[in-house]
Amino acid sequence: MFSLNELAGEVNSTDLIPISQELYNNMNLLRTRYVNGEFVGLTAELTSDKACIAADGSDCLTIQVRVTDWQGQPQTSYNDEVMIDVNGMQQAIKLSKGLATFTLSSEEPGEFMVRTLKLDRNTELKVVVSDGI
Amino acid sequence: MASKRVKAVETDIEQLSHEPGAEDTIGGVKPSKPRKLPVPKPTHFHIGADSLRLKQNEIQNRHQDRQKTIATQPSDITNEVLYQMLSDILENQLILEARLQALTHRK
């Protein structure tokens, strides 16, 4: 939790971490951890090569996962797994140098959410599957 | 006798050493290049067709066919047609109930 002090004087407490106005306005600070005097936290970016795919089971959408820190800096040393959830199906994907790609196809038209799980701040991507009507 | 056996084993080894991919396991010959690892396939997610939706489409198609038949040949409305219509209604009811149950569990 972070908040703005509107009191006249400075509040000194061992439980409080003073932050700048700039950091206060940065919403990415939410869901970070304060470790050894700095804020840390992993998040991910999900990008796809298409906005929409056909519900024929063969049209494929390629999604790239890029792990970044809470400030959006790519984590090129990240080689662990990231859990991905697609419409309730969950699978761990191994990243290499902070990057991984996976594909998605569907026989069911509609809107589906692709989500990352178990990161400090998770992200999601909406996938539209069109039945071509 | 023993020399025949040795010869047979030797020919077996020779044959195996000529087989593709056998050079790094038989004969102690080291491969000149490091073996290339297969490129890992990217993970693929597939969202299958909703079986309830497919069933509902089937029922709708059957109903449309029946409507065409009834419009052209009203004399073809038999007990069998009525029985099929009733079955389709009940089946549709079951699908709707299943959907409602799924929605209730989601909340």
Instruction: Provide the pLDDT confidence category of residue B107 given band limits of 50, 70 and 90.
Output: low
Looking at residue B96, its pLDDT comes to: 93
Q: Give the tokens for residue A44.
A: 């991910």
Question: Are both B57 and B99 inside the same structural domain?
Answer: yes
d(CA B4, CA B105): 75
Any B CB within 8 A of A129 CB: yes
Q: Give the tokens for residue A23.
A: 């950091």
For residues B99 and B80, the answer to whether their CB atoms sit within 8 Å is: no
Contact between chains at A104 and B47 (C-beta distance less than 8 A): yes
- Does the pLDDT at position B19 exceed 70? no
Looking at residue B42, its pLDDT comes to: 77
Question: Are both B17 and B55 inside the same structural domain?
Answer: no
- Does the pLDDT at position B79 exceed 70? yes
* 3-state class (DSSP) for residue A98: coil
Position A114 in a domain: yes
Instruction: Provide the pLDDT confidence category of residue B27 given band limits of 50, 70 and 90.
Output: very low
Any B CB within 8 A of A112 CB: yes
User: A64-111 pLDDT, tens per residue?
Assistant: 999 999 888 999 999 999 999 998 899 999 999 999 999 999 999 999
Question: Are both B91 and B62 inside the same structural domain?
Answer: yes
User: A113-133 pLDDT, tens per residue?
Assistant: 999 999 999 999 999 999 875
Q: Which helix (H) or strand (E) holds A45?
A: strand A42-48
Contact between chains at A108 and B42 (C-beta distance less than 8 A): no
Total domains in chain A come to: 1
Looking at residue B88, its pLDDT comes to: 94
CATH number of the domain enclosing A79? 2.60.40.10
Any B CB within 8 A of A81 CB: no
Position B83 in a domain: yes
d(CA A14, CA A4): 17
Question: Are both B16 and B57 inside the same structural domain?
Answer: no
Contacts of A60 in chain B (CB under 8 A): 44
| Averaged pLDDT for residues B36-45 | 78
* 3-state class (DSSP) for residue A104: strand
With CA atoms as reference, the chain B residue closest to A56 would be B49
Position B69 in a domain: yes
Which ipTM score applies to this complex? Answer: 0.79
Spell out the residues 6+ positions from residue A98 whose beta carbon is closer than 8 angstroms to its own.
A66, A67, A68, A74, A75, A76, A77, A78, A79
Closest in A55, A57, A89 to B45, CB measured: A89
Position B11 in a domain: yes
For residues A116 and A123, the answer to whether their CB atoms sit within 8 Å is: yes
The pTM (predicted TM-score) of the whole model is 0.68
Instruction: Give CA separation, B60 vs B35, B73, B98, in Å.
Output: 57, 20, 17
Position B58 in a domain: yes
With CA atoms as reference, the chain B residue closest to A93 would be B43
Total domains in chain B come to: 2
- Does the pLDDT at position B23 exceed 50? no
Contact between chains at A93 and B43 (C-beta distance less than 8 A): yes
Contact between chains at A112 and B47 (C-beta distance less than 8 A): yes
Looking at residue B83, its pLDDT comes to: 93
Residue with tokens 């959006």: A72
Query: What is the domain extent for residue B57?
Result: 51-106
Q: Find, among A119, A113, A83, the residue nearest to B43 by Cα.
A: A83
Beta-bridge partners for A103: A62, B44
Q: Give the tokens for residue A16.
A: 């409080």
Position A35 in a domain: no
Contacts of A87 in chain B (CB under 8 A): 45, 47
Spell out the residues 6+ positions from residue B105 whose beta carbon is closer than 8 angstroms to its own.
none
Question: Are both B26 and B55 inside the same structural domain?
Answer: no
**Range in A11-20, A59-68, A118-127, B93-102 the model is least confident about:** A11-20
